[in-house]
Amino acid sequence: MGLAYDKDFDTLADDLPLQSNREDNIPTHLYAVVTRCLGGGGVACPPQYLDVQAFIFPQFLPTSNCMNDNLFWFFDFDSNIKFLLILLNSP
């Protein structure tokens, strides 16, 4: 889990201001990366059996969500590692 900053919602990481007490430093998104082993190993999972899913959750919804079932709400925000790395400005 972690924090991401994308004030203009262009999916690219924002440059953070130097002062940490500024209002601009409020994160716009939370992210989570979840892994599971699809076979064998448990803690020592072989790479070919590792399944990864990323989720990027906005701190606020710019539009209302018309889905009634809150159980599946998080599927609206599923992502992959490639887009998460773009948002975090990571190589």
User: For residue range 43-67, what is the model confidence (pLDDT) as tens digits?
Assistant: 788 888 888 888 888 887 655 556 5
Q: 25-29, 40-44, 45-49: which range is least confident on average?
A: 40-44
Does 86 have pLDDT greater than 60? yes
Bridge partners (DSSP) listed for residue 52? 35
Alpha helices in 33-90 (DSSP H): 81-87
Question: What integer pLDDT is reported at residue 63 of this predicted model?
Answer: 59
Rg (CA), the chain: 16
Q: What is the mean pLDDT of the chain?
A: 75
Q: Which domain holds residue 10?
A: 2-87
Provide the greatest CA pair distance for the chain. Answer: 48
Q: What global pTM score does this model have? A: 0.64
Could you give the number of structural domains in the chain?
1
Rounded CA-CA distance 12/85 in Å is 9
On whether the CB atoms of residues 30 and 57 are closer than 8 A, the answer is yes
